[in-house]
Chains A and B, each alone.
Chain A
Amino acid sequence: SPSRSVYTNQWAVRITGGREEADKLASKYGYRNLGQIGGLENHYHFHHSKVVRRSAFATKGTHSFIHMDSKVEWAQQQVVKSRVKR
């Protein structure tokens, strides 16, 4: 049987306009901006404390509206990836 996705309360979001703009958008939708993702410019790591940490479904709520915000170029709820040591 295919393995089912596990959704987390973490998001990756691409926003131009710098850290301040990212902070504003995070706060608007109830997220906390944990900062830029590594060396990827305009990509930020968002966390939503009111979304369950691990879930079999991508839960919907006001936080989901971030995907529709015109200032957000791309957003993706993070899914747990199965990784094995070799």
Chain B
Amino acid sequence: VIGRIRHDEL
């Protein structure tokens, strides 16, 4: 999943 990533990490 390269590209726009949902930032679900801290």
Is the pairing of A and B real?
A: no
Chain B residues within 8 Å of A, Cβ to Cβ: none
